[in-house]
Chain A
Amino acid sequence: EAGVTQFPSHSVIEKGQTVTLRCDPISGHDNLYWYRRVMGKEIKFLLHFVKESKQDESGMPNNRFLAERTGGTYSTLKVQPAELEDSGVYFCASSQMGGWNEQFFGPGTRLTVL
């Protein structure tokens, strides 16, 4: 069974540009989460989808971040316009409904904003 995949693995952009990150969860996993780790800090929650619906977006830093999960399959996270403080590693995780919320993580996208 394929794991969670993320694209791209790395992205380097200039301040003010737009970047779109993609996450493909494990097939059949209705829960999809976005997390971010900035340098020196712990991994922090951004957003939670249940199928195509946003269940919790309390962790989104501001309205420059837009996440979508059309059709309840893959998800995208767009940052527009990017700022220096958006640099970090963005992780996607997925889990099945019910159970004990065992989340499986993708390899992450390392975003560098110059």
Chain B
Amino acid sequence: TQLLEQSPQFLSIQEGENLTVYCNSSSVFSSLQWYRQEPGEGPVLLVTVVTGGEVKKLKRLTFQFGDARKDSSLHITAAQPGDTGLYLCAGAMTGNTPLVFGKGTRLSVIA
């Protein structure tokens, strides 16, 4: 059973378009992290959200944690080719417990 459902699995868009990636679960998480992974490298932490309803912005990226702390979204405004990569959401149930990962969204931004 997949604990964190991430969608879409693949996304190919033109430069300048906006996009949203979703991460949904029936479980409550104490924190949720978004990572980006390039081929041959490990996941790189983008942001951590911990409070229900929290919104964090990182330049053109906006991250939101659902009020019930069961879901999260990543919105990218005016996507650029440099945004191409694999985006992963991962949640921790409590404290320092291991992360549960979604399958990832592979984004391709075409110039």
Q: Which residues of A contact B (CB under 8 A)?
A: 4, 6, 31, 33, 35, 41-45, 48, 50, 55-56, 59, 91, 93, 95, 97-98, 100-108
Contact = CB atoms under 8 A, between A and B. Distances in A.
B97 A108 contact: no
Interface residues of B, number: 27
B103 A56 contact: no
B101 interface: yes
A10 to B, nearest CB: 10
Contacts, number: 70
B88 interface: yes
Contact of B99 (A50, A103, A108): A103
Interface stretch (B11-19, B40-48, B55-63, B66-74): B40-48
B108 interface: no
B39 to A, nearest CB: 11
B46 to A, nearest CB: 11
Given A35-B99, A103-B33, A105-B45, 14 more contacts: A4-B42, A42-B2, A42-B101, A42-B103, A42-B104, A45-B100, A56-B98, A97-B96, A100-B30, A100-B31, A100-B48, A101-B95, A107-B40, A108-B42
Nearest to A92: B42
B92 interface: yes
Contacts of A107: 40-42
A107 B41 CA distance: 4
A45 B100 CA distance: 7
A44 B101 contact: yes
From B33, B43, B97, residue with most partner A Cβ within 10 Å: B43
A104 B35 CA distance: 10
B110 interface: no
From A4, A42, A91, residue with most partner B Cβ within 10 Å: A42
Contacts of B43: 43, 91, 105
Nearest to A104: B45
A71 B92 CA distance: 26
- The 3 lowest CB-CB distance pairs between A and B, nearest first, are A105-B42, A45-B98, A43-B101
Nearest to A95: B96
